[in-house]
Amino acid sequence: MVMDINEIREYLPHRYPFLLVDRVTELTLGEAIVAYKNVSINEPFFNGHFPHHPIMPGVLVVEALAQACGILGFKTVNKLPADGYVYYLVASDNVRFKRPVMPGDQLVLEARVERTKRGIWKFACRATVDDGLVCEADITCAERKVA
């Protein structure tokens, strides 16, 4: 284990029900991250998406990937939300969904830094369940001082 939920909460400003990373299992500063989200039937979005066939909304899969990107960015530059910084999701390109994410799945989130310049980070991302591709996307995040 590289980061547990307590350390993740130091590096992400998100809280329930929008904190979508449960654990980080691999992290190479400035290069890549592997994390996961345990998807439970108790997630609030399953009440309406869809009651008789629950699937995790695709936008939340992308958000989970972006949160993993944010952790990698924060850890790389050694900054924290408590210091007044935030990573905004500013673009998601080439997003493709291959299969739905269901309750009981462990969603593995992988992000690799493609490039960074003046606080703008581009990542190549993929999400998998049981080694099967769920989603792939190119995600851009921007580091900003907010406080």
Catalytic residue among 14, 49, 52, 53: 49
Residues near 102 by beta carbon (within 8 Å), at least 6 away in sequence: 39, 54, 55, 56
* Cβ–Cβ < 8 Å for 25, 72: no
Q: What is the pLDDT of residue 72?
A: 98
Per-residue pLDDT reduced to its tens digit, 15-43: 999 999 999 999 999 999 999 999 999 99
Q: What is the pLDDT of residue 86?
A: 95
Instruction: State yes or no: is 49 an active-site residue.
Output: yes
Q: Which helix (H) or strand (E) holds 59?
A: helix 58-77
Whether pTM > 0.95 for this model: the answer is yes
d(CA 64, CA 93): 15
What are the structural domains of the chain?
A: 5-145 (3.10.129.10)
DSSP-derived pairing of the beta strands 120-129 and 85-97: unpaired
Q: What is the pLDDT of residue 62?
A: 98
Per-residue pLDDT reduced to its tens digit, 106-122: 999 999 999 999 999 99
